[in-house]
Amino acid sequence: MVTDRPPHKMNPGGFLDKSVEYLSQLNISTCYQCQKCSNGCPMDFAMDIHPHRVMHSIQLGLLDEVINSDTIWVCASCETCTTRCPNEIDIAHVMDCLRQLSMKRGVKSTHKQAPIFHRVFLANVMRLGRMHELSMAMNFTLRSEGLKGLGRQAKLGINMIRKGKMKLIPDRLRAGNELKEIFNKAQKEKS
């Protein structure tokens, strides 16, 4: 996929952007461009920058280009790239950190629903301790499509509940306090 975006400026000297390494707590400079991440990625066809090129762009200091790309929002976080990496770089985690940086800097995604999904997903896990598909689907649909969208999705949701594909009432995680501490710690580190 070719974009019409103008090229972004590289950091002086082409040095690695340390903000991503700091946020991810990973040594991105160990990536040697073997391309195993891109070759195994099931979403590579829809990305404007392939995963190995994302890592290379970060190494070159092209962070603006990466956080303005569609790739970070198209990534399904399936961790195929992470499991294939011979240097054990958690590339899926890097993509998540890039989404956080993008949102923090107010970058507008061309995939308008992706940042909404990201926020709703995290809020769902923060509130319940795990994913509850019904509340996730309802919140996402309300925020992205409004009441009309919720009305369109209602029949599908009811059928899924009837067939036991979605639970009406969410299970609660027993370790709720520990999870809240994790989110609080992450929030403090982010500030």
- Residue 184 domain boundaries: 113-190
Looking at the structure, do residues 65 and 140 belong to the same domain, yes or no?
A: no
Spatial separation of the C-alpha atoms in residues 145 and 184, rounded to whole Å: 30
Cβ atoms of 41 and 58 closer than 8 Å: no
Spatial separation of the C-alpha atoms in residues 167 and 151, rounded to whole Å: 19
Query: What's the whole-model pTM score?
Result: 0.64
Looking at the structure, do residues 26 and 98 belong to the same domain, yes or no?
A: yes
Looking at the structure, do residues 79 and 119 belong to the same domain, yes or no?
A: no
| Of 49, 37, 39, 40, the residue nearest 73 (C-alpha) | 49
Cα dist from 102 to 55, 64, 67, 138, whole Å: 16, 9, 5, 25
Looking at the structure, do residues 23 and 96 belong to the same domain, yes or no?
A: yes
Looking at the structure, do residues 53 and 81 belong to the same domain, yes or no?
A: yes
Q: How many independent structural domains does the chain possess?
A: 2
> Residues 58-70: pLDDT tens digits?
988 888 889 988 8
> Residues 33-85: pLDDT tens digits?
999 999 999 989 889 999 999 999 998 888 888 998 889 988 888 899 999 99
Looking at the structure, do residues 122 and 162 belong to the same domain, yes or no?
A: yes
Spatial separation of the C-alpha atoms in residues 95 and 66, rounded to whole Å: 10
Residue finishing a domain among 52, 86, 104 = 104
Looking at the structure, do residues 54 and 123 belong to the same domain, yes or no?
A: no
Residue finishing a domain among 79, 104, 129 = 104
**Residue 31: its pLDDT value, please?**
92
Spatial separation of the C-alpha atoms in residues 24 and 100, rounded to whole Å: 10
For residue 49, how many C-alpha atoms fall within 13 Å in the half-sphere facing its CB?
22
Residue finishing a domain among 104, 137, 153 = 104
